[in-house]
Amino acid sequence: MYWRLLSHLFDHEEQATLETASLAVVEDVGLPSALLDPKASVDSVVQRHPDLAAEFDGLMAVEPDPDGTRDRAAEVRRAALASKVLLNVFAAASGTVTASQLARWQSDAGWLERALGCRPGELRGGRRAGGDSGAGGAGVSPFGTGGGTTPDLSRLIPEIGPELGSIEADLVKRMQLREVLADPKLAAQLTPSMSLIEQLLRDKDNLSGVALANAKSLIRRFVDEVAEVLRTQVEKATVGAIDRSIPPKRVFRNLDLDRTIWKNLTNWDPEEERLYVDRLYYRHTARKTTPQRLIVVVDQSGSMVDSMVNCTILASIFAGLPKVDVHLIAYDTQALDLTPWVHDPFETLLRTNLGGGTDGTVAMTLAQPKIAEPRNTVVVWISDFYEWRSEPLFESMAAIHRSGAKFIPVGSVTSAGRASVNPWFRDRFKDLGTPVLSGHIRKLVHELKAFLT
């Protein structure tokens, strides 16, 4: 990879010699020459050489050989494959971007995410985001060279994810999106991602007819796919204690076979070698729940789009839990109560108005009257907290905390896990005893599930 990058520093005449040498190296380790073609996508290379697909999985998250030996040919082979996917992703197209170019870049970015040990779309906060798969822990070398200080991919990945998202967002902005959406064939080439959904939500009021229908279809696909991932996280999170006051359902799937045998051992007949069962025992599955109210307040300014999408979907999932009363408020310089549509994140997002300034006091005006029983209420406030009127907003938040309600300030609930929070608010929330929750959306899922169930 370094060889190819350095070649661009030399004169034009010398570049040809270096490219020829690169070709000889690649062929020497049994790789196809198409790997050096900058116009060829990773998909096209893999289609011609299907056996390479498996090599890209976890390519840059290879564990060093435990005995310290080095396979030089394997290292060169991995470096050649890595250079292909890195150059394809980070040397993005210039000028106006077509739907085909965006689709190709999204595919190549997916291969890079696979090479880092993640699922396609996961690092960019896209449709497969939020999975538990990782790319290895500390000390994992991308190429398994076994020498020197190896990069810590657990720290690298959260940093590279937002950069991939930024590149994708730039490509989307340079695409004639309205014209693409108006053509069903071109629109079919688009893969829903956070960057694309953000652009669609910003431009939805300027779309009509076929273009609007295609935009809604892409938003619906993205919402459904992210909801599937988040629903799995909610199901895996900590749940409430067993409620033994409710008799267990007497169905076969709840039968406690071990306890039934143990309790009926006195009925064992040694002559017939049979165990006579006069009582069956069943497992309790009902959980203790008390009516809880969840109030989610989301900053819908331009810097919080990822959080807006994730929290809208998350609110709808918690709204489906028993005895949980969910309210959703979105705000910029004006506040909008989205509670009537909280069960349908698709309809909720269509009613948002992304962008604009930030004035949390208008949202507080809607949120405070909803706190009827503080002890059974949790208020989640998602924002970067760069506010126009900081002092009065913080005082209102502190009052909610002192009332006995659980107040959770959240800097971001993105899939990539990066957030920028106003230091003034961060310090005061820490002094109040309610530190800002930042990072991956799984953190918020765990906090809410523990309180609401």
Tell me the percentage of the chain whose pLDDT exceeds 90: 12
1, part of any domain: no
Total Cβ atoms within 10 A of residue 362: 19
How is residue 386 written in tokens? 């760069």
90, part of any domain: yes
Q: Are residues 123 and 57 in the same domain?
A: yes
Q: How far apart are CA 332 and CA 353, in angstroms?
A: 9
Residue 123 to residues 57, 126, 144, Cα–Cα distance (Å): 15, 7, 22
Q: Are residues 146 and 48 in the same domain?
A: yes
pLDDT in tens, 35-69: 888 788 898 888 888 888 888 888 887 666 666 67
3, part of any domain: no
Q: How far apart are CA 220 and CA 199, in angstroms?
A: 14
SS3 content of the chain, % helix, strand, coil (to 5): 55, 10, 40
Where do the DSSP E strands lie in 286-370? 292-299, 324-331, 335-337
pLDDT attached to residue 402: 93
| Secondary structure string (H, E, C) spanning 73-133 | HHHHHHHHHHHHHHHHHHCCCCCCECHHHHHHHHHHHHHHHHHCCCCCCCCCCCCCCCCCC
Contact 342, 336 (CB under 8 A): no
Q: Judge whether residue 275 has pLDDT over 80.
A: yes
pLDDT attached to residue 369: 94
Final residue of a domain: which of 190, 206, 232? 232
Q: How far apart are CA 374 and CA 406, in angstroms?
A: 8
Of these ranges, 6-10, 158-162, 243-247, 351-355, the one predicted with the greatest mean pLDDT is 351-355
| Mean pLDDT calculated for residue range 237-257 | 64
- For residues 374-401, one letter each, b for 16 or more C-beta atoms within 10 angstroms of the residue's C-beta and e for the rest, the string is bebbbbbbbbbbbbeebeebbebbbebb
pLDDT attached to residue 362: 93
Final residue of a domain: which of 224, 253, 286? 286
Q: How far apart are CA 402 and CA 419, in angstroms?
A: 27
Q: How far apart are CA 410 and CA 443, in angstroms?
A: 10
Q: How far apart are CA 367 and CA 104, in angstroms?
A: 44
CATH label of the domain that carries residue 415: 3.40.50.410
Q: How far apart are CA 310 and CA 168, in angstroms?
A: 18
Q: Are residues 311 and 428 in the same domain?
A: yes
Q: How far apart are CA 279 and CA 367, in angstroms?
A: 53
441, part of any domain: yes
Q: Which of 20-34, 65-79, 100-114 has the lowest mean pLDDT?
A: 65-79
Q: Are residues 414 and 446 in the same domain?
A: yes
Give one word for 163, left, alpha or beta, with left for phi > 0 and alpha for psi -120 to 50. alpha
Whole-number average pLDDT of the chain: 78
pLDDT attached to residue 311: 79
pLDDT attached to residue 282: 83
Q: Which of 1-15, 260-274, 298-312, 354-368 has the lowest mean pLDDT?
A: 1-15
| Mean pLDDT calculated for residue range 232-246 | 57
Q: Judge whether residue 406 has pLDDT over 50.
A: yes
Contact 88, 115 (CB under 8 A): no
Q: How far apart are CA 302 and CA 66, in angstroms?
A: 48
| pTM (whole model) above 0.75 | no
The boundaries of the domain holding residue 205 are 19-232
* SS3 (DSSP) at 170: helix
Q: How far apart are CA 195 and CA 424, in angstroms?
A: 29
77, part of any domain: yes
Q: How far apart are CA 276 and CA 272, in angstroms?
A: 10
Q: Are residues 136 and 247 in the same domain?
A: no
Q: Are residues 205 and 353 in the same domain?
A: no
Handedness of CA 398, 406, 415, 63 (dihedral sign): positive
Residue 85 to residues 81, 142, 259, 408, Cα–Cα distance (Å): 7, 13, 56, 40
Handedness of CA 281, 282, 286, 288 (dihedral sign): positive
Tell me the percentage of the chain whose pLDDT exceeds 70: 75
Q: How far apart are CA 452 and CA 299, in angstroms?
A: 23
Q: Are residues 219 and 246 in the same domain?
A: no
pLDDT attached to residue 314: 79
Single-letter amino acid code for the residue at 83: S
Q: How many domains does the chain have?
A: 3
Q: Are residues 217 and 103 in the same domain?
A: yes
Final residue of a domain: which of 211, 232, 253? 232
pLDDT in tens, 306-349: 677 777 887 887 777 777 888 999 888 889 999 999 888 888 88
237, part of any domain: no
Q: Are residues 319 and 444 in the same domain?
A: yes
CA atoms within 13 A on the CB side of 220: 7
| Mean pLDDT calculated for residue range 244-269 | 78
| Mean pLDDT calculated for residue range 10-15 | 65
Q: Are residues 363 and 218 in the same domain?
A: no
Q: Are residues 122 and 267 in the same domain?
A: no
pLDDT in tens, 358-401: 889 999 999 999 998 998 898 989 888 888 889 999 999 999 99
pLDDT, greater one: 290 or 204: 204
How is residue 349 written in tokens? 């997002």
Q: Which of 186, 184, 185 is nearest to 176 (CA)?
A: 186
Q: Judge whether residue 30 has pLDDT over 90.
A: no
pLDDT in tens, 127-170: 443 333 333 333 222 323 333 334 455 555 556 777 887 888 88
Q: Are residues 64 and 204 in the same domain?
A: yes
Return the ∠ at Cα 300 (arms to 296 and 301), rounded to 5°: 145
193, part of any domain: yes
pLDDT in tens, 414-441: 554 455 788 999 999 999 998 888 766 6
